[in-house]
Structure 1
Amino acid sequence: MRSFSFSSIPNLEDLSFSSFSTSPNGESRSYGTGYSRGLVWMEKVHMYLIDPEASILLKEIAELMILAGHAPNMCRAYGETRHNMLMRCLSLLDVQIEQKSYDNPAAATANGACSMQLYEKNQKMWIQALKVFVSTILPEERNSCAQIFGCDRKVEEDCFARATTRCTGELLTFGSMMANVKVNDQQHHKVPLLLQMHEELLKLQPTINNLMSGEAKGVISEQASMLLDKLGKEASSLLLEFLNVCSNLKPWQNTVLDGDILPLTQHVVGFVEQLNEYSDMIDLILLLTVEKEDKEITKSPWERYVLMLLARLQVKVEEKAESYKDERLRYIFLMNNAMHVLKGSGSSDLSMSMWDDQNRQQFVIRVEQYATAYLRASWTGALFQLSDQAVPRELPYEIRSTNSVKKSMKKFNSALGEISRVQTTWKVPNPQLRQHLRLVILQHVFPAYRAHLRRPRPGFHMEKHVKYTLDDIENHVLDLFEG
């Protein structure tokens, strides 16, 4: 093997990914799920591999030892030596398993759980280590064994198995521990991380099977399959648990005064968008035993899950809406949440099959219904004062043209002032929806107000009682819903 002076490395235990995040020219090069792969870092990995030039000399020694009948002892010595070196290499990749970890995966964390930040860091390290170990280290070790022990196929397989089986098993065991670890934050945040681990292992499993052989192949293949099954079951369990969380949340004590989007709505939509990248994998691991109508049978498990999740979200949104005493603000709140889901459904991150025309149309109709209900509750009273119906018909014409018109104008001015004062503080975060609402309001108010001002009233000077011009009304409406 190469001769290295480890004393030249100040802190061998600090050789983690954070030390090799950039290349010599200062440019970060992406690799895996977030860590960078630099030339310096690859040099550290290759420190633990066998130099091809040394393989030539080792081959001559191995052939002599095999001829002399020392193959069993040689295999044991080689396997133990290389195992120790590869375990050091795993330590370089920050994969370190202590004996206490087998009994308590979260032994080093407080209260038996770790932070989400730490969990994500370890998860990324594991994926990175798995990629490097399977794609680089194992093939290199396999080539070295072929070069050194190629004269005897059985010896070659034995040496490779002894050198790599336990290391590979340790790496898979670390992944299994990751599936068990609890996090301090909500557990469902682990789902995308578990799916990433599942996806990477599933892609690398054929390579592992091709490199291994004999009894070692059976052991590692079984362990990899068990880990895939464990990751899938844990992700599936957390997905179903999240459904229950959405259903069992208690009513909120505090009411947001501006009608903005419910945090739960933002969280659910973001959760769906994040997981949709793994929809094919979720279809494999997600088993829903729920009764569905015939039209839903054709949908995939992931699509059915999302529809169930949104249905439960809608129940919680409507439950929250009941806490709004102002009917107008209640409809603004409902409209904001429905629009946020509709906007998420139109994201390029979501598959079109999940949001077919029927599903999208349901949310479009829901937004329109809430908007119509808001307009009716908020503006009907003000617009009524601009109509002839606001003036009692049983009164003489002269009186109807004076006192009653004055009162109706005063009531309209008061209603518009109240709407402007109150609803300016309300919030419609979606800019398209906000502009659409303003436009619809103006389309209703402008014609009625203009007709009211131009309606002939002999002997009555309307301009004396006009508080708002058309431009004033437009400015007031354009200030609404900014929050």
Structure 2
Amino acid sequence: MAVQSAAIGNPGISDDSAAEPGRRMLGAAEEAVNRWVSREAAADGGYGVSDFPALAAAVKDLISLGSHGGAYSQRAKLALESAMGHLEDDFCQVLISGTYFHPPDNLQASLYDSIALPVRSSSFSSITNLEAASLSSFTTSSSDDRWTYCTGHSRDSFSLEKVHLYLIDPEASTLLKEIAELMMLAGHESNLSHAYGEIRNSTLMQCLCLFGVQIDLNSYNPRASPSESGFNMLLDLDGQKMEIWIQALRVIIGTVLPEERQACTQIFGSDSKVEEDCFARATTRFIQQLFAFGSLIANVKDEQYEKVPLLVQMLEEFLKLKPSIEALRYGDAKDAISQEADMLLEKLREEAVRLLLKFSEAQINHESYDNETIVLNGSVLSFPQYTMGVIKLLAGYSDTLNIILPVEVGGVGTVTTSPWKSYVLTLLTRLQLNIEEKSKSYKDECLRNVFLMNNAMYVLEKARSPDLKILLGDNWVTKQLVQVEQHATAYLRASWTEPLFQLKDKGINYTERSLILTKKFKNFNSIFGEISRVQTTWKVPNPQLRQHLRLVILQQVIPAYRAFVGRFGMLLNSKFIKYTLEDIENNVLDLFEG
């Protein structure tokens, strides 16, 4: 270059003499490019680039020759364009071959295991409304013999510590940086950004395929209904799909995007504008598709109330991760993604609130329960189990629910009651009214009281979970317990007043006592036998309550029967004394097994 400059600046040197250094520089640069291209074409393995320092020097010479004008300027520009084309091809080849997939062991299995249902057949995923709810939607825990609501729902079920997807090999990254700096030096930033963005976007999209949350953005309209968007096949999204989206969000925002940002910084760090452009091109459609799948879930309008906890979890997780998304981007790209994130957040909020209000209205109208047949044994119906299951899962998201629920949503409590507490109190009040309405289907007063007692006890049992007990307070729990006791007392009176009356000696005169005693013993035997026969088939699911009822019955019947038999048994034929004290006890202890 020094020789060329001296020649150009000295009028005493001939044009041929002045052109000679430029001709030699151009020839050497073209030869270096051709040698590199030939070796690249013949390369087998590696990244296909050999003698890169010589190539870099040649490119810099071509840039210099092309920028100074003169006889060889146009030829140098053409050679530079050719070199850039080959460099771009090589950049793409290195980027593709230098990317490796490094997930944790059995990532797919880990993802699905992390959201696996405790009892897969007990999923609510097939329930479209409360009318379809049934006892088969619940399973019994072997540890405490209590009904357990099963959705496989977990807030912290998957670790991100070992999730590293589609990383760029360090050696490849170094070479990509050198190529990128040459292309940027030659003014080919646009081609470079386009190539990097297309390849990395395509690669990153494989993450969405891996998680199973990929859709076609070309036919997706986020503002349209699911049917209008052409996604009818996805209308039956189950809870597992929603949970997978949450896990994908955590992995992508927590590891994939930061690693991509780091790769862009390492490769294009010498030019912040190119760095940002490449990151935006690589990740924008990728993030949009992740958002689009979440939006698709929010658009599903089936009345599947069991989806509410997962919708709220999606909302809570997204709120938590949104600042991390925005921190990775700048300028217009940040604004665009932020706007789409806000749109998704609003959709999730709207759908969660819509289902919550619809759920509350269903409790008022109780048309969803009208076709549910009462259980003949007086046990807990499915709709209280369903309702308490949803409430119990939602209780873990009280902070988020207090943000999204309208202040006036509840209608129960004081002005200072939080929206979530007010909503739960209203829901429980309406649930109780529904249970009372359903109890009218029982013609037997005793069984009706057992039914009311069982369902009130179930609600109390579930309300004693830590989150709900703190929310509802001791006063509510005490009132619910009093209600259980009232139903239990009503049952005892309706069922055992008559047999106990037969064991009273009041009104027995001496002249007719033999006849009266015979009648009383016969009546007691008949009534007690009928109670034993019928109420053995009734069900009291709660073991403590079942045992309590039996003990109360024994405490009343055994002493009365012992005293009556002891006083009058000797006056009658033994055939009229059908039951021994042991028989009485055994029969009572068999009650309420269902």
Q: TM-score range by the shorter chain?
A: 0.7 to 0.9
1:283–1:427 Cα change, 3 Å:
same
1:364–1:287 Cα change, 3 Å:
same
Paired residue for 1:450, among 559, 562, 586? 562
8 Å CA contact retained: 2:98, 2:169: no
193-202 or 330-339, larger mean C-alpha shift: 193-202
Deviations 1:460-479 (A, max 9, x none): 35756322111111111111
Paired residue for 2:448, among 324, 330, 354? 330
- TM-score when scaled to structure 2? 0.70
59-68 or 368-377, larger mean C-alpha shift: 59-68
8 Å CA contact retained: 2:518, 2:572: no
Deviations 1:69-124 (A, max 9, x none): 333443333333333332344333333222334356356766x7633xx4333323
Distance, in Å, in 1 between the alignment partners of 2:204 and 2:345 is: 24
Please name the residue that 1:177 is paired with. Answer: 296
Paired residue for 2:226, among 90, 96, 105? 105
Please name the residue that 1:375 is paired with. Answer: 492
- Cα distance, 1:212 vs. partner? 0.8
Letter in 2 for 1:258: N
1:254–1:64 Cα change, 3 Å:
closer
Distance, in Å, in 2 between the alignment partners of 1:441 and 1:142 is: 72
Q: Does 1:20 align with 2:131?
A: no
1:413–1:149 Cα change, 3 Å:
same
Q: Does 1:64 align with 2:182?
A: yes
Paired residue for 2:334, among 205, 214, 217? 217
- Cα distance, 1:36 vs. partner? 6.9
What secondary structure is seen at the aligned counterpart in 2 of 1:402? helix
1:252–1:388 Cα change, 3 Å:
farther
1:124–1:253 Cα change, 3 Å:
closer
Please name the residue that 1:114 is paired with. Answer: 235
Distance, in Å, in 2 between the alignment partners of 1:342 and 1:93 is: 40
Paired residue for 1:79, among 193, 197, 211? 197
| Residue-pair matches, total | 456
8 Å CA contact retained: 2:311, 2:348: yes
1:354–1:390 Cα change, 3 Å:
farther
Distance, in Å, in 2 between the alignment partners of 1:476 and 1:466 is: 15
273-282 or 367-376, larger mean C-alpha shift: 273-282
Q: Does 1:192 align with 2:192?
A: no
The 5 Å alignment of 1:109-148 reads 114-115=235-236, 118-148=237-267
Paired residue for 1:389, among 467, 487, 506? 506
Distance, in Å, in 2 between the alignment partners of 1:435 and 1:92 is: 52
Distance, in Å, in 1 between the alignment partners of 2:157 and 2:399 is: 25
Contiguous gaps of at least 5 residues in structure 1: 10-14, 392-396
8 Å CA contact retained: 2:409, 2:419: no
- Of all paired residues, the percent bearing the same amino acid is 50
Distance, in Å, in 2 between the alignment partners of 1:121 and 1:444 is: 52
1:456–1:134 Cα change, 3 Å:
closer
The 5 Å alignment of 1:271-286 reads 271-286=390-405
Paired residue for 2:529, among 414, 417, 426? 417
8 Å CA contact retained: 1:87, 1:167: yes
- Cα distance, 1:208 vs. partner? 0.9
1:220–1:291 Cα change, 3 Å:
closer
Distance, in Å, in 2 between the alignment partners of 1:430 and 1:136 is: 47
1:22–1:200 Cα change, 3 Å:
closer
Distance, in Å, in 2 between the alignment partners of 1:262 and 1:3 is: 59
8 Å CA contact retained: 2:193, 2:277: yes
What secondary structure is seen at the aligned counterpart in 2 of 1:467? coil
Deviations 1:194-251 (A, max 9, x none): 1221122122112111111111111112211221121111101101101111222233
1:166–1:22 Cα change, 3 Å:
closer
Deviations 1:177-201 (A, max 9, x none): 1210244xx4212212212211221
Deviations 1:354-403 (A, max 9, x none): 23121011111111111111111111111111112353xxxxx4324321
Distance, in Å, in 2 between the alignment partners of 1:28 and 1:313 is: 35
Higher Rg of the two aligned structures: 2
Distance, in Å, in 2 between the alignment partners of 1:254 and 1:21 is: 40
8 Å CA contact retained: 1:21, 1:35: no
CA RMSD between the two structures? 3.2
8 Å CA contact retained: 2:408, 2:419: no
Q: Does 1:473 align with 2:590?
A: no
Please name the residue that 2:359 is paired with. Answer: 242
1:2–1:149 Cα change, 3 Å:
closer
The 5 Å alignment of 1:40-59 reads 45-46=165-166, 49-59=167-177
464-473 or 98-107, larger mean C-alpha shift: 98-107
Q: Does 1:150 align with 2:150?
A: no
